[in-house]
Amino acid sequence: MCSASNRGVVYMGPGHVEVQSIAFPELALGKRKCSHGVILKVVSTNICGSDQHMVRGRTTAPEGLVLGHEITGEIIECGSDVEFLTVGDLVSVPFNIACGRCRNCKEGQTGICLQVNPARPGAAYGYVDMGGWVGGQSEYVMVPYADFNLLKFPDRDQAMDKIRDLTLLSDIFPTGFHGAATAGVGPGSTVYIAGAGPVGLAAAVSAQLLGAACVIVGDMNPARLEQAHSFGCETIDLRQDATVPELIEQVLGVPEVDAGVDCVGFEARCHGCNHHQEQPATVLNTMMEVTRAGGGVGIPGLYVTGDPGAVDDAAKMGQLGVRIGLGWAKSHYFYTGQCPVMKYHRQLMQAILWDKVNIADAVNVQVISLDDAPNGYADFDEGAATKYVIDPHGVVAA
């Protein structure tokens, strides 16, 4: 067992994160032993767009929160009830914390576990309103219900060779895949993906993996659009003074697609000449415009129940001006909520290990040190076409 020191990335208020000394994790839940948990030495932990919402001050996240829900690590201590994992195992941690025992977990709905958050269904590491769990943008972290939650990589050396890809199994690759799959993407589909951030790019790769004929990605950031184009996506620049259906028609010859995926969420902005103006329902409404009658819309983009920086009082409570009548008239279906990572992560691991997908290249992974995390947050907030992966112990770099 290593010495009991630890450091992590801490939210200090809007626009401000610091790397600070934090408590070394213990196998405990409050005053109770956590015999089903493990302690991990963090091998890699990623900065997520969801983290950025908090750091911008657009949620009710408390100051002092240790951030980070995308975690890959090496087990250095196991609780007495852990049966199927051992010290030295290299594992991926789903960002959903799930007990494995409640009704929802037994139905595979691990994103809305009923036992790990007293406030509401669902929990995550280092995230607002998600149960108060300590985040994993740190050197060490505790993971509960380890046998149920953790995905063990079958070969350590092989895993380390592909760690830049495998680190994305904790969240954005399954989340992007979930968005595409729940929208109904399949062989020959045409797909519109709103947002070319890391989740949008992961959704685009996933749509290709699912057999889509044409994947169109829309954004207002030229660098991110170029990143999408680099692996075969069609792109549309939403700063243009044209409607999204018109832009899609320029690509496909028709103004509609089979499936739509919203990878933007509640900080959406207007299209066209007013693209600096926030309009939180614009992507949802656009999806109903461009998705064909009978088609599906996957919504992995984040929508919150409390947004102190929203444009109006209704949006501050998560009430948006959604044109539901159009969706109803076109018989759309919508799939929202956290991705249940365990539904997909083993299969996506196999796709990585067997060279069926190069997700790290698609989202432009850049490895940084723990001390560089504040700069990573700042660059990401400025729109860098990069997925920042934090390497707390220099293991990935080595």
Q: Over the stretch 189-225, which tens digit does the pLDDT of each residue have? A: 999 999 999 999 999 999 999 999 999 999 999 999 9
Beta-bridge partner residues of 218: 194, 236
**Residue 1 pLDDT > 50:** no
Q: Is the pLDDT of residue 392 over 70?
A: yes
Q: Given 321, 336, 351, which residue is the final one in a domain? A: 336
CATH of the domain at 360: 3.90.180.10
Phi, psi of 184 (to 5 degrees): 90, 20
Per-residue model confidence as pLDDT tens digits over 129-179: 999 999 999 999 999 999 999 999 999 999 999 999 999 999 999 999 999
Q: Estimate the share of the chain in helix, then strand, then coil, as percent rounded to the nearest 5.
A: 30, 25, 45
- Tell me whether residue 396 is in a domain: no
Please report which confidence band the pLDDT of residue 287 belongs to, taking 50, 70 and 90 as the band edges.
very high
Instruction: Report yes or no on 348 lying in a domain.
Output: yes
Q: pTM to 2 decimals?
A: 0.96
User: Phi/psi at 341 (nearest 5 deg)?
Assistant: -55, -40
Give the mean model confidence (pLDDT) for residues 85-99.
98
Same domain, 128 and 274: no
**Per-residue pLDDT tens for 255-279?**
999 999 999 999 998 887 677 788 9
Q: How many helices (H) and strands (E) does the chain have?
A: 15, 17
d(CA 247, CA 290): 10
Token pair of 85, please?
A: 């994992």
CATH of the domain at 268: 3.40.50.720
Domain extent for 220: 176-336
192 & 329 share domain: yes
Q: How many domains does the chain have?
A: 2
Same domain assignment for residues 345 and 332: no
Closest of 308, 10, 341, 389 to residue 181, by C-alpha: 341
Asked whether residue 223 falls in the same domain as residue 276, the answer is yes
Q: For position 45, what pLDDT does the model report?
A: 98
- Is 274 found in the same domain as 186? yes
- How many angstroms separate the CA atoms of 285 and 279, rounded? 11
Q: State the CB neighbour count (10 A cutoff) for residue 159.
A: 22
Same domain, residue pair 109 and 247: no
User: What spatial distance separates the first Cα and last Cα of the chain, rounded to whole Å?
Assistant: 22
Strands (E), the chain: 7-13, 16-21, 28-29, 32-33, 38-46, 71-78, 90-93, 140-143, 151-152, 190-194, 214-219, 234-237, 257-262, 291-299, 333-336, 365-368, 387-390
